[in-house]
Amino acid sequence: MPLDNVVFWVFAPLSIATAIGMMVVRNAVHAALFLVVNFFTIAVMYLLLDAPFLFAVQIVVYAGAIMVLFLFVIMLLGVDRGDPLGERLFGQRTTAVILAVAIVAEVATAIRAGVGFATRAPEGFEAANPGGNPSALADVLFRDYFFPFEVTSILLIVAAVAAMVLALRRSRSVTQREIEEHEGDDLEAYAMAPPGAPESMREGTR
């Protein structure tokens, strides 16, 4: 058994298991840790697919930056108590599982038609990576994809602005008095289920 097969069959189940773990555990911190592990397994897959640069980026950006940010927010908000176990929405979990299975089945069918389950990737990927993967990527990125690359900068500015606008509002003009003033009519103005919709139509308990 070739090495890459072994690696795949080790890490793929692990990947799925950690994904499931992330989904089912109660504690948010645990879930985040499962996700980090999952990201690692995906990084391994990148390695198997001859994408060493992305392997590195995956670990640095995802496992490193993004998940840390997640954990940070989890801690910040103090919501590490964990989710309640009960499902309040009728049939939500069952349907979710069914839909998940269905979408896998559909995509699998499409893949089978479009790629074929036994097709192996052709050899000769090195030819597409002159001077090594990172360098080749840089070639493509800064020539063909220079414009999208510039767009990402706009995206990041927007993200920064967004974070700034959303996060800075406490410190600015909205005073406690203003909040109190409007709190009441907020609820009135927005709690507008159509009259005549009986209570029983609303799901779950408040």
Partner 1 sequence: MIDPPRVELWAILPVLILFGGAVIALVGAAFARRADQAPFALLTLAALAAAAASALWLWQREPTTALEGMVSVDRLAVVATLTLCGVGAFGAYLGYHYFERDELRRNEFYALLLFALGGMALLVAAADLIVVFLAIEVLSLSLYVLTALTFRRGPTEASLKYFLLGAFSSAFLLYGVAISYGAVATTSIQGLARGLAGTTGDQSLAIAGALLIVVGLGFKVSLVPFHMWVPDVYQGAPSPVTAFMSAATKVAVFVALVRVLHVAFVALQWDLGPAIAALSAASMVVGSVLAIAQTDVKRLLAYSSVAQAGYILSAFVAPDRDGIAAALFYVVSYAAAVIGAFGVVMLISGGIGEQTGFERFRGLGRRRPGLSALLTIFLLSLAGIPPTAGFVAKVFVLGAATSAGYWPLVLIGALAGVVGAFYYLRIVALMAMREPEGDDVADPSPLPRLVLAVPAAAVVVLGIVPGVIVPVLREAGVLTW
Partner 2 sequence: MRTPIAYFLLLSAILFALGSASVLVRRNALRIFMGVELQLNAVNLTLVAFSRMHLELDGQILAFFSMVVAAAEVVVGLAIIVAVFRRTGTTDVDRADVLRG
Partner 3 sequence: MIDLIGLAIAIPLVAAGVNMLVGARLGRYAGWLGTGAMVASFAIALGALLDLLSLPAGDRTQVVTVAEWIRTGAATVTLDLRVDPLSITMAMVVTGVGSLIHLYAIGYMEHDPRPGRFFGYMNLFCAFMLALVLANDFLLLYLGWEGVGLCSYLLIGFWSERPEAARAAKKAFITTRVGDVMLLLGLFAVWIHFGSFDFDTVLGSEGSLPEIAAGTATAISLLMLGGAVGKSAQLPLHVWLPDAMAGPTPVSALIHAATMVTAGVYLVVRTHVLFEISEVALIVVAVIGLAGALHAGFASLGQYDMKRALAYSTMSQLGFMFLAAGLGFSAVAISLLVAHAFYKALLFLTSGNVMHGLHDEIDVRRLGGLVRDMPWTAALFAVGALALSGLPPFSGYYTKDAILELASHDGEVWTYVLGSLGALVSAWYIARLFFTAFIGDRRYEGRAHEASTLMRAPLVVLAIGALFAGMWLALTPDGRLATFLEPVVGTVAEGHAGPSTQVLVAISVVLTLLGIAIAWRLYRPAAAERWISFPEREPGLAGALGHAFYIDDLYAWIVGTVGLRGAAALERFDRIVVDGAVNGVGRLAVRLSGLAPIWQSGRVRRYALSFLAGGVALLVFAVVRV
Instruction: Rule CB under 8 A: say whether 194 interacts with partner 3.
Output: yes
* Least Å from the CB of residue 156 to partner 1: 10
Choose among partner 2, partner 3, partner 1, none what residue 131 binds, the Cβ cut-off being 5 to 8 Å by kind.
none
Number of residues that bind partner 3 (CB under 8 A): 19
Instruction: Rule CB under 8 A: say whether 107 interacts with partner 3.
Output: yes
How far apart are the C-alpha atoms of 203 and 11, rounded to whole Å?
Answer: 40
Q: Alpha carbon 73 to chain centroid distance?
A: 15
Helices (H), the chain: 3-24, 28-48, 52-57, 67-77, 92-114, 133-143, 146-167, 176-190
Binding to partner 3 by CB under 8 A, coded x per residue (else -) over 154-193, reads ---------------------------------------x
Q: Find out whether 32 and 70 touch, Cβ atoms under 8 Å.
A: yes
CA gyration radius, the chain: 24
Q: Which of 10, 90, 132, 144 forms a contact with partner 2 (CB under 8 A)?
A: 144
Q: Alpha carbon 138 to chain centroid distance?
A: 25
Q: Find out whether 42 and 15 touch, Cβ atoms under 8 Å.
A: yes
Binding site for partner 1 (CB under 8 A): 106-107, 109-111, 113-115, 139, 142-148, 151-152, 154-155, 157-159, 161-162, 165-166, 169, 172-174, 182-183, 185-187, 189-190, 192, 194-197
Q: Which of 10, 90, 112, 132 forms a contact with partner 2 (CB under 8 A)?
A: 112
> Which residues between 77 and 96 bind partner 2 (CB under 8 A)?
77, 79, 83-84, 87-89, 92-93, 95-96
Q: Which of 5, 92, 135, 152 forms a contact with partner 3 (CB under 8 A)?
A: 92
**Residue 3 in tokens:** 């090495």
Which residues, 6+ apart, have CB-to-CB distance to 149 below 8 Å?
141, 142
How far apart are the C-alpha atoms of 206 and 190, rounded to whole Å?
Answer: 16
Q: Which of 10, 56, 132, 137 forms a contact with partner 2 (CB under 8 A)?
A: 137
Comparison of 6 and 88: residue with beta carbon closer to partner 1: 88
Burial profile 131-150: b = 16 or more Cβ within 10 angstroms, e = fewer: eebeebbeeeeeeeeeeeee
Q: What does the binding site for partner 3 look like in residue numbers (CB under 8 A)?
A: 89, 92, 95-96, 99, 102-103, 106-107, 109-110, 113, 193-194, 196-197, 201-203
